[in-house]
Chain A
Amino acid sequence: MKGAPRIGVFVCRCGTNIASVVDVPSVVSSAKSLGKVVHVEENLFSCSESALEEIARTIRRECLNRVVVAACSPRTHEPIFQDTLAKAGINPYLLEMVNIRDQCSWVHKADPVEATRKASELVRMGVAKASLLEPLEVSAVPVERKAVVVGGGTAGLRAAADLASMGFETSIIEKSDRLGGTLLSYREAGVDLESKAVLGNLIRSIEDNGVVVRTGCTVESVEGSVGSFKVLLSNGESLVAGAIILTPGGSAVAASQEVERAISSLDFDRMLGGGSSPSHVSFIQCVGVRNGDRGCSRFCCLKSLLQALEVRRRGGEASILYRDLMFYQRGAEELYREACEAGVRFFRCDGPIVFKGGRLRFSSPIDGEMSLRTDVLVAGVGIVPSDSIPELSRILKVPMSSEGFFLEKHPKLAPVEFATDGIFVAGCAQYPCDLRETLMQGSAAAAKAASILSRKMLQTSPLVCVVDEERCRACGECEAICKFGAARVSVESGRKVSRINPALCKGCGTCAVSCPSNAIEARGFTGRQIDEAIAALLGGTG
């Protein structure tokens, strides 16, 4: 900022809200005595249309280059006064607000003397900080109107199809050599008609909308930030994208490892698909899940129920051994009733089982010691996180839950978003979900990504942290403490330094404190500004 600070202070009466308790003329007169303050006035309502115009005129007339408004909360009124500064032709970040309503008149009604003293001291702190304010520029970054979807299973296909149908150039990166993920295996088994219909529909949809598919390919590294990511692939290609959706899915627990001589739900689908009609089938639920860290996989009870019904249709006997039955999906309760009527038997069992010589032996707290004739034992296996998740978590700096699934920003407020802007999650990579939930999440992630991709430019706040590269010793403390991956140590013109990506930085300032070289400044809340405010409060009379 050119020239010495010329600070203007505007003290609001807020009608009687402030003035009935705080002696406003006294606050004005004490502000007049402060250094660098060249103009002080009181307003009936500083935020009224006429007062704002008058403030803008005063800024021009008095050549003010810093403004302190002593009124209410910056949380509600800062944008209004910033706008006035801009209209008066000075940078909007040269404003400091002091809250003498919420922090003085409204809360110290019984003590007008102390409330007035406090208001004057808060103004003194505000003026001190204002004298060190710097003009800051809002920058806008262009948005690459393209999306990259990592994982070509159900969630990824749905997300990609949705985005492409909205007109965004979309690529799917799939690790295996075929699209479809878990759904593809069930479709090929040939029994699950729903998987067949859904997968066919999804594949047609990505073809019709021109989604670019790369199979046998993984993500090597990701640079950049929301609006402009650069995704480097294992095949050497590099893609640009405004948003990234992660859908690496989950894997089924290996049935035979958990229960001797048992086959998985998928293998049993293959048996049924091959035309087999076993006469005595038992299902054991919660295999490999609901122990220690692992929660319920949610869809396996329903899957076994559907298979048991199919066994009954083919004239066989079907028994389900369960710990708890989870039929929470829409329509699942009705299917459970249908299965009961069709003669599927249910046994509560949470102890050990022995499957030997065509008999399944177990102890049930309800039915006692049991021995069931069993030709085929099916393990209703749960879902565990895909082994791609830790690697993607590391590359994209997005967090995992204690179970090893991806962890969203907030379970309700931001269920398919990560804390890092522009990266989204859907499907079994987040938690085990059934087909319907997976599809809904795919669509939700696509809609959220579209809210970024549909913009031409993204504005970034100037209230971010910046590194003084001369001072930086590249120790990496900032990189370690930043939860948003904004600070990164890299080599710049032959020298290792930390750089903070303003598009990723949220401006919390936590890194500024961690820096042992004092090389990081949190804009809008610099160490000097804060110290100056403290000194103004305490220094004078301390």
Chain B
Amino acid sequence: MSWSPRIVAFCCNWCAYAGADLAGISRKQYSPDTRILRVMCSGRVDPAMVLRCFEQGADGVMVLGCHPGDCHYLSGNEVAEGRIESAGETLSLLGIDRRRLLLKWISASEGDLFARTASEFAAMLRELGPLGGDSNSS
């Protein structure tokens, strides 16, 4: 049996989560490795939460929010962008490949993009292999 990556996807309620709903409604098939955790805004995602995911063995984390300018809360997504950027830097320091953390904007009307993103991210993680295997990990 082949190895499957463990993926946590933080999805904002208004865009990305709705995009995942649309992927369902329009029966867009995608890789089944992602587990969605709903938050109201991508600005709710604490870098510490992201790091705890990796600490507990997640192979990849996605933070999915509204497109810039479309945030239900005006600019929570822009705040998230800075925070996820810094979480990525921390990952690098820990020897974890930064590609394992993905920030992406997916609107409520982009069911197809949600499905594609989930599949592509899972495929990339399959290439990278399990978390412990990154080149310079200690």
Task: Report A's interface with B, CB cutoff 8 A.
Answer: 73-76, 99, 101-104, 106-111, 114-115, 117-118, 121-122, 125, 419, 463, 481, 483-484, 506-510, 512-514, 522, 524-525, 527, 530-531, 533-535, 537-539, 541-542
A107 and B28 in contact, given A75-B13, A538-B6 (Cβ under 8 angstroms): yes
Bound complex: CA of A519 vs CA of B53, how far in Å?
22
- Other A-B contacts than A484-B73, A510-B43, 19 sampled, CB-CB below 8 A, are A75-B18, A101-B24, A102-B25, A107-B30, A108-B30, A109-B29, A114-B33, A117-B32, A118-B32, A125-B35, A509-B39, A509-B43, A513-B44, A522-B44, A531-B52, A535-B56, A537-B8, A538-B6, A542-B57
Return chain A residues, CB-CB under 8 Å to B35: 118, 121-122, 125, 537
Return chain A residues, CB-CB under 8 Å to B27: 106-107, 109
Return chain A residues, CB-CB under 8 Å to B29: 107-110
Bound complex: CA of A115 vs CA of B36, how far in Å?
13
Name the distance in Å between A332's Cβ and chain B's nearest Cβ.
32
Return chain B residues, CB-CB under 8 Å to A110: 29
Name the distance in Å between A375's Cβ and chain B's nearest Cβ.
51
Return chain A residues, CB-CB under 8 Å to B17: 73, 75
A125 adjacent to B37 (CB under 8 Å):
yes
Chain B stretch 22-68: residues in CB contact (< 8 A) with chain A: 23-25, 27-30, 32-33, 35-41, 43-47, 49, 52-53, 56-58
- Nearest first, the 8 closest Cβ-Cβ pairs linking A and B are A102-B24, A542-B57, A510-B43, A509-B44, A538-B56, A508-B73, A508-B41, A114-B32
B36 adjacent to A483 (CB under 8 Å):
no
B21 adjacent to A509 (CB under 8 Å):
no
Q: Of A99, A102, A507, A542, which contacts B40 at CB under 8 A? A: A507
Return chain A residues, CB-CB under 8 Å to B41: 508-510
B79 adjacent to A512 (CB under 8 Å):
no
Q: Which residue of A lies closest to B37 (CB)?
A: A533
Q: Which residue of A lies closest to B114 (CB)?
A: A107
A102 adjacent to B73 (CB under 8 Å):
no
Bound complex: CA of A534 vs CA of B57, how far in Å?
10
A525 adjacent to B32 (CB under 8 Å):
no
B36 adjacent to A527 (CB under 8 Å):
no
B72 at the interface (CB under 8 A from A): yes
B79 adjacent to A510 (CB under 8 Å):
yes
State the interface size on chain B (CB cutoff 8 A). 43
Bound complex: CA of A37 vs CA of B119, how far in Å?
33
Bound complex: CA of A106 vs CA of B39, how far in Å?
22
Return chain B residues, CB-CB under 8 Å to A530: 37, 39, 49
Name the distance in Å between B21's Cβ and chain A's nearest Cβ.
5
B76 at the interface (CB under 8 A from A): yes
Q: Of B36, B49, B53, which contacts A103 at CB under 8 A? A: B36
Return chain A residues, CB-CB under 8 Å to B73: 483-484, 506, 508, 510
Bound complex: CA of A510 vs CA of B8, how far in Å?
20
Q: Which residue of A lies closest to B108 (CB)?
A: A75
Name the distance in Å between A120's Cβ and chain B's nearest Cβ.
11
A534 and B21 in contact, given A109-B27, A110-B29, A483-B73 (Cβ under 8 angstroms): no
Q: Of A111, A117, A508, which contacts B72 at CB under 8 A? A: A508
Q: Which residue of A lies closest to B73 (CB)?
A: A508
Bound complex: CA of A117 vs CA of B32, how far in Å?
9
Bound complex: CA of A73 vs CA of B23, how far in Å?
12
A102 and B37 in contact, given A114-B32, A534-B8, A535-B56 (Cβ under 8 angstroms): no
A107 adjacent to B115 (CB under 8 Å):
yes
A534 and B20 in contact, given A109-B29, A483-B73, A508-B76 (Cβ under 8 angstroms): no
Return chain A residues, CB-CB under 8 Å to B46: 512-513, 527
Name the distance in Å between A460's Cβ and chain B's nearest Cβ.
15
Can you name 8 A-B pairs with beta carbons within 8 Å? A73-B17, A74-B38, A109-B27, A117-B32, A125-B37, A527-B46, A534-B8, A542-B57
Return chain A residues, CB-CB under 8 Å to B30: 107-108
Q: Name, among B21, B27, B47, B52, the residue most crowded by chain A CB atoms within 10 Å (CB to CB).
A: B21
Q: Which residue of A lies closest to B17 (CB)?
A: A75
B104 at the interface (CB under 8 A from A): no
Return chain A residues, CB-CB under 8 Å to B37: 125, 530, 533-534
B43 adjacent to A531 (CB under 8 Å):
no
Return chain B residues, CB-CB under 8 Å to A115: 32
Return chain B residues, CB-CB under 8 Å to A514: 79
B99 at the interface (CB under 8 A from A): no
Name the distance in Å between B84's Cβ and chain A's nearest Cβ.
11
Name the distance in Å between B97's Cβ and chain A's nearest Cβ.
18
